[in-house]
Amino acid sequence: MVAPLRVGIAGLGTVGAEVVRLIERQGRVLAERTGRPVKVVAVTARSKKKRAVDLSGIKWAKDPLALAADPEVDCLVELMGGAGDPALSAIDTALKAGKSVVTANKALIAKHGLKLAKAAEKHGGALNFEAAVGAAIPVIKTLREGLAGTGINRVYGILNGTCNYILTRMEQEGLSFDECLKDAQRLGYAEADPSFDIHGHDTAQKLAILASLAFGTQVAEKSIYVEGISSIAPEDLRAAAELGYRVKLLGVAVRTAKGIEQRVHPTMVPKSSSIAQVMDVTNAVTIDGEGIPPITLVGPGAGGAATASAVVADIADVARGIRSAPFGRPVDKLQATEKAPMERHEGGYYIRLMARDHAGTAATIATRLAEQKISIESIVQRHPNGSEPGKSAKGGPVPVILITYATHEDAVHRALQAVQRDKVISGKPQVIRIEKN
Ligand SMILES: NC(=O)c1ccc[n+]([C@@H]2O[C@H](COP(=O)([O-])OP(=O)(O)OC[C@H]3O[C@@H](n4cnc5c(N)ncnc54)[C@H](OP(=O)(O)O)[C@@H]3O)[C@@H](O)[C@H]2O)c1
């Protein structure tokens, strides 16, 4: 009889409670699949309140550090959250004692992942964090193991369910950003303080982890250009739809001639692409590997049961004795990355301008774009009912929407600054980058 893997769980909230339940329910299957029983022997949380999960026969550790140091625990499962203590010191303690660690904590891995991976390497334990990106979607294993023999050119995805929910509602119902955010909060999809999600930082933490696995770079959230979705208006989504696109908040890491570009921003994607089909709170990641068509993984990016599925799969790997390098290769082989110089970013652009209703406005805009060698792929000029194209009913500004062919971002900025100086538009131009598949 093989000795069971003795698991200690710190955190019994949305995810932790589901992990206890899943190990209990899947006990026999897990033992068959891994060749070893998996047993939760100890748990801890902030308070000892009654929980909706059966903890009888399981020891209560006085705090996360005591749990991590308990000699009867082989594998620490950290499900408390937070980029600092007690999660950090508990994981560090467990790894330094040669134990394995499983966590769903993207904030901690994005900030301290390299240091912790080094400790895991040195002391021989595993550090698994599949649930930290895309919850139930097995994207970490896909990059680390499934595509270990394949060069990666680009990895990009919808990594934040809150933002995707808001953009889906705005597109489908023509509602404003604020209305959809309020609904997301009412339904529990968005936090009371949603800024971390809507300004793109949650996506950036997950992208930093994916980029490291895909390109062998050091996890560096600070190297990522980040822009959120709060400036997106329903008219952008309507225009995108008319032009054959959808707007998604994407995290993109791509190999370019100048290095690895990492960026998070609202992005127009062709309506026919796999990623454009991903609606509501669902997450998705597309991987472009050398010599193979893109692979898209789609699934639930949050929720107790979905996240527990990935956590328990990581525990199963520990039970099997698998000790992969956490970021796919030894930490000292990971390359440093620099912040993407977005002014040199090359791609197509969506530009929405409020053109003043003057003779020669269209010609001025066209000239300023031509001066920067920007070619226009399509143009939509809206005209309210009863007015001529290019002229508003009351002589007010008229929306002009342009899609450019691939150009540089600094060229777009220069052209738009000139157009603003010419005073042929009112307000600030809206610019959304296009990502082609
Ligand atoms: N929820 C999701 O959909 C999801 C998806 C992917 C990843 N994750 C990640 O999974 C982790 C857990 O998330 P969650 O949603 O389960 O959080 P949660 O519901 O807030 O649960 C957190 C748990 O940790 C315990 N805890 C917090 N601080 C503690 C401390 N100082 N000492 C001891 N215990 C402490 C809490 O104790 P009490 O119960 O006593 O308060 C609670 O049981 C986070 O890293 C999160 O980013 C979550």
- CATH number, domain at 415? 3.30.70.260
Do 266 and 356 lie in one domain? The reply is: no
Q: Looking at residue 437, what is its pLDDT?
A: 72
Ligand 1 geometric centre to CA of 65 (Å): 16
Atom of ligand 1 minimally distant from the CA of 86: 31
Do 349 and 291 lie in one domain? The reply is: no
Structure-block tokens of residue 223: 């190297």
Q: Looking at residue 395, what is its pLDDT?
A: 66
Q: Which residues, listed in sequence order, are joined to residue 284 by a DSSP beta bridge?
A: 158, 298
118 is catalytic: no
Nearest-angstrom CA–CA distance, 326 and 328: 6
Residue 237 backbone phi and psi in degrees, to 5: -70, -35
Atom of ligand 1 minimally distant from the CA of 47: 40
Nearest-angstrom CA–CA distance, 132 and 140: 9
Reported pTM: 0.95
> With the C-alpha atoms ordered 351, 233, 360, 364, is the resulting torsion angle positive or negative?
negative
Nearest-angstrom CA–CA distance, 167 and 312: 32
Catalytic hit among 206, 271, 339, 373: 206
Q: Which residues contact 201 (CB under 8 A, 6 or more apart)?
A: 195, 226
Render each residue's pLDDT in the chain as its tens digit; 437 residues.
799 999 999 999 999 999 999 999 999 999 999 999 999 999 999 999 999 899 999 999 999 999 999 999 999 999 999 999 999 999 999 999 999 999 999 999 999 999 999 999 999 999 999 999 999 999 999 999 999 999 999 999 999 999 999 999 999 999 999 999 999 999 988 888 899 999 999 999 999 999 999 999 999 999 999 999 999 999 999 999 999 999 999 999 999 988 899 999 999 999 999 999 999 999 999 999 999 999 999 999 999 999 999 999 999 999 999 999 999 999 999 999 888 788 889 999 999 999 988 888 889 999 999 999 999 999 887 765 444 444 555 668 899 999 999 999 999 999 999 999 999 999 999 999 999 87
Do 234 and 188 lie in one domain? The reply is: yes
Nearest-angstrom CA–CA distance, 356 and 297: 45
Closest CA to 430 of 142, 140, 187, 231: 231
Do 147 and 120 lie in one domain? The reply is: no
Report the CATH number at residue 294.
3.30.360.10
Q: Which residues contact 4 (CB under 8 A, 6 or more apart)?
A: 36, 37, 38, 39
Distances (CA, A) of 162 to 177, 190, 199, 257: 12, 6, 11, 33
Q: Which residues contact 424 (CB under 8 A, 6 or more apart)?
A: 355, 356, 358, 360, 361, 364, 365
Nearest residue by C-alpha to atom 19 in ligand 1: 13
Ligand 1 geometric centre to CA of 314 (Å): 18
Q: Which residues contact 28 (CB under 8 A, 6 or more apart)?
A: none
Please count the other Cβ atoms lying within 10 Å of the Cβ belonging to residue 43.
Answer: 25
Ligand 1 geometric centre to CA of 166 (Å): 24
Question: Of 101, 140, 307, 309, which is best to mutate to test ligand 1, by the most ligand atoms within 8 angstroms of its C-beta?
Answer: 307
Ligand 1 binding pocket, CB closer than 6 Å = 10-16, 44-47, 64, 79-81, 86, 104-106, 131, 135, 302-303, 307
Report the CATH number at residue 111.
3.40.50.720
Nearest residue by C-alpha to atom 5 in ligand 1: 302
The amino acid at 315: I
Q: Looking at residue 327, what is its pLDDT?
A: 97
Ligand 1 geometric centre to CA of 10 (Å): 9
Domain coverage including residue 355: 344-434
Residue 126 lies in a domain: yes
Atom of ligand 1 minimally distant from the CA of 108: 45
Please count the other Cβ atoms lying within 10 Å of the Cβ belonging to residue 57.
Answer: 8
Do 279 and 386 lie in one domain? The reply is: no
Residue 314 C-alpha from the chain's centroid? 20
Q: How many domains does the chain have?
A: 3
Nearest residue by C-alpha to atom 20 in ligand 1: 13
CB of 207 closer than 8 Å to CB of 134: no
Residue 80 lies in a domain: yes
Atom of ligand 1 minimally distant from the CA of 132: 7
- Please list the helix, strand and coil fractions of the chain in percent, rounded to the nearest 5, in that order: 40, 25, 35
Q: Looking at residue 332, what is its pLDDT?
A: 97
Ligand 1 geometric centre to CA of 128 (Å): 17
